[in-house]
Structure 1
């Protein structure tokens, strides 16, 4: 079992019994998502924005326009952090202060570089697309040079990380378990509805297999 080393930067202090530094478990959290929250400093102000991402091994890929303020700031800083969180349930207790949520959350810390080479940029964009929906890249038209030139791609190398996972029930005070108050968990999950074809699509055009497969896997 490979783990990220613990330091002041990534060590979980509060609720450390729920912490994990296991690389495989953290990658599983990352691979279950597509949106991460990226933090950075701009003009002396702390900002946090959601971004789609792709992961390959210990690399995270982000992309935007060449004028993207956040990506340019990250390149200048040469480092970044990102958090990915999945909400799995509402935990409803007998007292207000013991209400909680079940979740999986991973926070990454790493170094940043701008991807310059066209071949590497395209590979990063493929990674991004595959994170969104598998087997999509081969079904769409090839990216052209003009599009590639105006796209800024950033690569984050994960240097260290940590995760917290809560997957248990209500944890009330011992004396509250005899109260006549309902308590329990409301499970929460993200699902996919049946695909809707774009208005320009011919009525005879079938929905691609990779899209239907995504729907079937994620519909319930």
Structure 2
């Protein structure tokens, strides 16, 4: 169950709040992109970053000289958001048009992973998440590359989740209007693979197991 704090209490559209930790994990694992907030003398900035989860921690990585990474490494409070868009809700009135979505907000502080062996394992975990089995065939990161990479982690201890999937919510007075109403779904389709020219003679790897029904030929 997700923790309840002043920052994670869902006040707007509270009926869309979800408290299962599993739902938070699912949103992060499918999105893999976090919008991360930092504040500096020039004002607030929100930057999209690749992000992945291992157990109940979320990880990001970047160059050692990255302004975002250096700021977050200092342990400043930050906020991450993840969003999956699932479709438009088309109502009989303009006012009730809305969207289906799954979203998560995570609060906390990042800390650095300094050990290169641990970095290597965590970065490879990310590769395996997006392309199962790939680390068995590629050249893995060397010590120079690992040392040039900053890896940060944050525990998923303070987070909220909202899921909107309730369909059309027209006013009773509008139900007899001769207007089509319903949902226009959005679906993410993964693949097919697009090889570089030098790879066209090689056997095509199969990464379908990471994407389930989202894989293009399922």
Alignment gaps of 5+ in structure 2: none
SS of match in other structure, 1:209 = coil
Partner of 1:88 in structure 2?
86
Residues 19-168 of structure 1: pairs in structure 2 closer than 5 A: 19-168=17-166
Cα displacement string for residues 135-157 of structure 1 (whole angstroms, at most 9, x for unaligned residues):
32222111111111111111111
Alignment gaps of 5+ in structure 1: none
SS of match in other structure, 2:198 = coil
Moved more, 4-13 or 133-142: 133-142
Partner of 1:176 in structure 2?
174
Change (3 A) 1:157 1:213: closer
Change (3 A) 1:73 1:14: same
Alpha-carbon distance in structure 1 between the residues aligned to 2:80 and 2:128: 19
Alpha-carbon distance in structure 1 between the residues aligned to 2:182 and 2:71: 44
Alpha-carbon distance in structure 2 between the residues aligned to 1:214 and 1:104: 19
Contact 2:87 2:100 in 1 (8 A): yes
Partner of 1:209 in structure 2?
206
Is structure 2 residue 185 aligned with structure 1 residue 187?
yes
Contact 1:89 1:101 in 2 (8 A): yes
Alpha-carbon distance in structure 2 between the residues aligned to 1:133 and 1:33: 15
